[in-house]
Structure 1
Amino acid sequence: MTNSSSDIRVVVGIDFGTTYSGFSYANVKTPNKIETNDIWLETQGEFKTNTVIRYDNKFNVVKWGLPALAEKISRKSKNSKSEDIQIAELFKLHLGEIADEKKPKLPLGLNPRKAVTDYLCEIGKLMKAKISDRWPGLIYFKHVRIILTVPVEYDEKVRAIMRQCAYDAELLLTVESENLEFTTEPEAAAMYCLETLSEHPLNEGDSFMIVDCGGGTVDLTVRTLLPNSKLSEMTESTGDFCGSTYIDKEFKKFLARKIGLSAFRLLEEKHYPQLQYLIQYFCTQIKLPFDGNLNTWRDKEIDLEEVCPVLLQYVKGEERDRLESMEWMIELDFATVKSFFDKVIEKIINLIHRQLSNSSKNISAIFLVGGFSESKYLLHRIRNEFSNRISYISVPSHPIASVVKGAVLYGLKTDTIQTRVLKNTYGIRMLRDWTPADPVSKLVMIDSEKHVRYFERLAKKGTQVPVDQEFKKIVYPAYKDQSECNFFIYKTKADDGEYCDEPGMELFGKLNLELPDVHLGFSRPMEFTLTFGQMETRAFAKALKKFMFKLKI
């Protein structure tokens, strides 16, 4: 059972990120008062907490968020071990289309869907408590709409997995509940930027680029401002794995060189929370303040004995002699820290160049959002690279909360997005006469006649389509006494295709239609329709009975 829009009183946006997550909420009667949670279990003042879960050996949740990841141990406790805990992080990446060897390791025996469900359950408990405190008497499953943000590369199948996880996490009353909707992360960011456009020199018809710089991924999209504060998507969204956590990876490589690879592996294996505490220290004290200005730079030091005392017992040989002589201080100079950033930022710059090349319109502005956009060095590099082409490059206020606030705005104003650009080519499997030009392997015999099944394109990748636009095709029975018809829907990243079993083709869905009036033979037209909605793609098929009766007469 689903609820009508008139029942909705509160909209909640959940930004379930690769490395950090958060939520915002607003009452539909006061849509301009969006509140973003900044009080977590053991911390406050931050709009997000870490997307991390700590389990016991039976996979019961022990902690979640920042307390599950980073833990400082005093010098007196430096020999304590954490081998009895299991930490799951970056598990969201298991849902994306990345090679198995590049997916982060999870505790042995942990299904990534369980991790997603457990995390949504924990953040959901806090979310429900906040809403209950804010609006007593409100019925959660009846009066609350949830907008869950997803990366642009998540297709319908992954969103179906996310929907099932949300249901298992007790965020929904039924799996099919209309109280859950999806929007992409850059789309939510665009909604947030739309609210601030009055502050910037943009007019109707101007296009702007959103660069959502998160922890794991960076996503880009180009939007055009339409009349009445509506938005259209102008280019296909793009993205890559070049978020701020890849800077942390460079720091870990540096640390391993300083303390020795063996010591680093032992620290990672036996005291992972303490390693993460050290990384968080690097992030707050070095990564975030770094602005790329050599004139104001002062070399940084990290006191390993103070920040990560458990490490000292594992450092051996030359590394130990050198660190002892330096009183367990490691130094980071300007060139070293800059090198952590440059590989990552170059990828982001290349993504922006690619989006600019793909856009058919001039881009008037670039907005950087997401946690990584708070990096002054990133902003400096992008302005230095593109200021000759883009006159306005800006970071809105509270960029780390831009996606989650934009998700709430999306839920309050679902008609703001007017067009989308298709990321795939869609079509259906059809039947035609076989010709000698077709491979013999494609030959299908029906009623002693030679046929071949082929891909009939309905909607082409890269096409800008209005929300709910319909793509239709009239088809007829394959054989005269056919009593039902199965429509096989396929998608591909290519612009077109010839056969449904060629490389890159993916079965998108299947639709069955009963065919009455068998006595009419082939004279039974059917109409197949593919519709691209706000986020979900819908397929319909119907027999055109009125038309058939006319043929019969």
Structure 2
Amino acid sequence: MVLVVASLDFGTTYSGWAYSFTHEFQQDPTQIKSKHWNADQFMSNKAPTCVLINSDGKTVDAFGYEAEDKYAKLAQKNEHKDWYYFKHFKMKLFESEGLRTNDMLEDATGKPLSALTVFSSAIKYLHDDLFKTLQNGTGGSIFTEDIHWVLTVPAIWSDIAKKFMRRAALEAGIETGQLTIALEPEVASIFCRHSKMTRTATSSSVDISTFPPGTRYLVCDAGGGTVDITVHEITPDMRLKEIAKASGGAWGGTQVNLQFERLIDTIAGCSVINALKEEFMDDYCDLMATFELKKREFKDSSDVLFRYPSSMRKMVKKLTDASLEDQIERSIYKGKISRNRDKLCINYDVMISLFKTTIHNIIEHISTLICNHAERQIGHIVMVGGFSESPLLQRRVKEAFRGQHIIIPSEAGLAILKGAVIFGHNKQSIVSRIARFTYGNDCFTDFDESIHPISRLYIRKDNKKRCAGFFSKLVEVGQSIPVDYAAGSKKYYPIDDNTGYMAKICATKEKAPKFADDPGCFRVGKFYVDCEDREGNIGGAMISMYFGGTEIEVKASLLSTGEETSATFDLPD
């Protein structure tokens, strides 16, 4: 029996955990406890997604603010090079369409370590920290089997990326049966539906929790790494139906940080950022931490003044044989950026330019989605995720969509974390989703000389001609897929004298692929289907695809007896 639902929001920039007891949820779904992390001079609802691993490449020494602080102190004494320090590594799962079991990641100094080790170490820290809190709060009366865990992922991630996170969670000690993978914009939407929100100054007076059936609204989940956007409709039974497949891109807050690094290199006239990483890692960390704070509070009405490390000035002199002041005067930012002792003053127009591309991409994408649904107007935009707390992003979205109600909960950065807890208690909140890919089975079909190349010809033992590598479609991209029953089913039979066949599930963004190895097709997983029933008879089996749990589940049932087996897909090496 599940006594507690616990969520882990493992973000690109910040991470955290939350939980609620089953009896508390039944009384009030919004009574959710989350951790307050200790920073130097303040408390935070989340901690930086930074993990510091000992030189053995296995043992986690620190996470979050503690990892940042300890690594900076090690770097200050030049003792950091044997340690492994990882930050912003979650983006690798988006950039590469998913990591494989044997893939490696490079730490802050370029040392390789198993990606599975890095991810599982971070998840394990969050898992252990939450479990310890529960143990302390209940006098040790909570056990691992009493907890159901929910791990959040972007909806635009690939199936391989989701599988990798499940594997990493298993390595961290979370059993498969006790884990749900939840989609971030989906659970944020669920949270907003349950919560009477205290709005920010830029929010409209509309409350999503009071929306009637038939209302459509857009959810923009702007995080540190990616921006996830989808459209939901409220059903007659007050559940949610996805009507536009999740889409988005790498337009999160970290892109602004990258623009800032390029700005510093530009005014310095050299690669001073890399030089700081190599020789003064502690100063680089301090510089970026300072910028992160300025970025989060920046509006667009005043210049920004912030402290920079003295080592940066020394490195510029060493690399260019010129002072930082001279380099600024020679740069394209002359008159817009100035130095005053240990501080840089950046003109607000320059600061705005750091956000420009990222905000433009977000607004353009939202505009496209709204235009695509012009027949049923989307009148509401809900902004969640840590980057949604940016005053500049809020203002730009509000200016761009004056005809829509812009809703920004006061806990925009916690909507995913807390919504995941609610989803873990009640997975029936979602009625249907939209397929992001076309899925099918790599199989044989009757050979047709007019359309099938001779290279695919296979002649069976009974001399019948078959075409190999045929893409047998089960689900089409853009199709509405139910969560309560199969989204697509087809019958398949063994070939020759075989007693079964290998179901090889593939996917593509194309609507009508011909073959399983067409350009753009990729393998999702495979499993063997034994077509021999208990009486020794060999027949066919029905392959069915389900999407109810946010991850793909494939089932095969024998046509003769109805006996059923579920697929378990392993990650490719």
Tell me the TM-score range normalised by the shorter chain.
Answer: 0.7 to 0.9
| Deviation string, structure 1 residues 216-271 (Cα, Å, up to 9, x no partner) | 11101111112343111111001210111111111122222334425432212122
Residue 491 of structure 1: aligned partner: 507
Q: Does residue 229 of structure 2 align to residue 232 of structure 1?
A: no
| Deviation string, structure 1 residues 40-72 (Cα, Å, up to 9, x no partner) | 476752111111112343334332212323579
TM-score (norm 1): 0.87
- For residues 267 and 455 of structure 2, the distance between their equivalents in structure 1, rounded to whole angstroms, comes to 60
- Provide closer, same or farther for how the CA distance between residues 273 and 187 of structure 1 changes in structure 2, counting only shifts above 3 A: farther
Q: Does residue 520 of structure 2 align to residue 511 of structure 1?
A: no
Q: Aligned residues: percent identity?
A: 24
2:295 paired residue among 287, 297, 300: 287
- For residues 561 and 341 of structure 2, the distance between their equivalents in structure 1, rounded to whole angstroms, comes to 89
Residue 20 of structure 2: aligned partner: 26
Residue 387 of structure 1: aligned partner: 402
Structure 2 contact 310–342 (Cα < 8 Å) conserved: no
Residue 305 of structure 2: aligned partner: 301
Equivalent runs, 1:292-371 vs 2, <5 Å: 292-293=300-301, 297=302, 299-304=303-308, 308-316=309-317, 317-320=321-324, 322=326, 326-359=340-373, 361-371=376-386
Structure 1 contact 223–233 (Cα < 8 Å) conserved: yes
Q: 442-451 or 492-501, which moves further after superposition? A: 442-451
- For residues 258 and 188 of structure 1, the distance between their equivalents in structure 2, rounded to whole angstroms, comes to 42
Equivalent runs, 1:415-430 vs 2, <5 Å: 415-428=428-441, 429-430=443-444
* Residue aligned with 1:500, SS: coil
Structure 1 contact 511–539 (Cα < 8 Å) conserved: no
- For residues 248 and 290 of structure 1, the distance between their equivalents in structure 2, rounded to whole angstroms, comes to 13
Residue 55 of structure 1: aligned partner: 53
Report how far residue 374 of structure 1 moved: 1.0
Structure 1: gaps (5+ residues)? 1-6, 548-553
Letter of the 1:291 partner, please give it. K
Residue 447 of structure 2: aligned partner: 433
Equivalent runs, 1:473-488 vs 2, <5 Å: 473-479=490-496, 481-488=497-504
Structure 1 contact 73–309 (Cα < 8 Å) conserved: no
Report how far residue 28 of structure 1 moved: 0.9
- For residues 458 and 522 of structure 2, the distance between their equivalents in structure 1, rounded to whole angstroms, comes to 21
Report how far residue 381 of structure 1 moved: 0.8
- For residues 510 and 131 of structure 2, the distance between their equivalents in structure 1, rounded to whole angstroms, comes to 43
Residue 200 of structure 2: aligned partner: none
- Provide closer, same or farther for how the CA distance between residues 146 and 72 of structure 1 changes in structure 2, counting only shifts above 3 A: closer
Letter of the 1:376 partner, please give it. P
Equivalent runs, 1:169-188 vs 2, <5 Å: 169-170=172-173, 172=174, 174=175, 176=176, 178-188=177-187
- For residues 17 and 534 of structure 2, the distance between their equivalents in structure 1, rounded to whole angstroms, comes to 55
- Provide closer, same or farther for how the CA distance between residues 438 and 395 of structure 1 changes in structure 2, counting only shifts above 3 A: same
- For residues 78 and 169 of structure 1, the distance between their equivalents in structure 2, rounded to whole angstroms, comes to 28
Structure 1 contact 426–457 (Cα < 8 Å) conserved: yes
Residue 222 of structure 2: aligned partner: 213
Letter of the 2:556 partner, please give it. A
Q: Does residue 388 of structure 2 align to residue 373 of structure 1?
A: yes
Equivalent runs, 1:8-87 vs 2, <5 Å: 8-31=2-25, 32=28, 33-40=31-38, 45-59=43-57, 60-69=59-68, 80-81=77-78, 83-84=80-81, 85-87=83-85
TM-score (norm 2): 0.84
Report how far residue 274 of structure 1 moved: 2.2
- Provide closer, same or farther for how the CA distance between residues 375 and 283 of structure 1 changes in structure 2, counting only shifts above 3 A: same
Report how far residue 98 of structure 1 moved: 3.1
Equivalent runs, 1:184-203 vs 2, <5 Å: 184-196=183-195, 199-200=207-208, 202-203=211-212
How many residue pairs match? The answer is: 521
- For residues 504 and 330 of structure 1, the distance between their equivalents in structure 2, rounded to whole angstroms, comes to 47
Residue 571 of structure 2: aligned partner: none
Residue 147 of structure 2: aligned partner: 144
Letter of the 1:449 partner, please give it. K
Equivalent runs, 1:464-479 vs 2, <5 Å: 464-470=480-486, 471-479=488-496
Structure 1 contact 82–270 (Cα < 8 Å) conserved: no
Runs of 4 or more consecutive aligned structure 1 residues displaced over 6 Å after TM superposition: 71-74, 517-521
Structure 2: gaps (5+ residues)? 99-103, 197-205, 329-337, 563-573
- For residues 32 and 533 of structure 2, the distance between their equivalents in structure 1, rounded to whole angstroms, comes to 57
- Provide closer, same or farther for how the CA distance between residues 104 and 342 of structure 1 changes in structure 2, counting only shifts above 3 A: farther
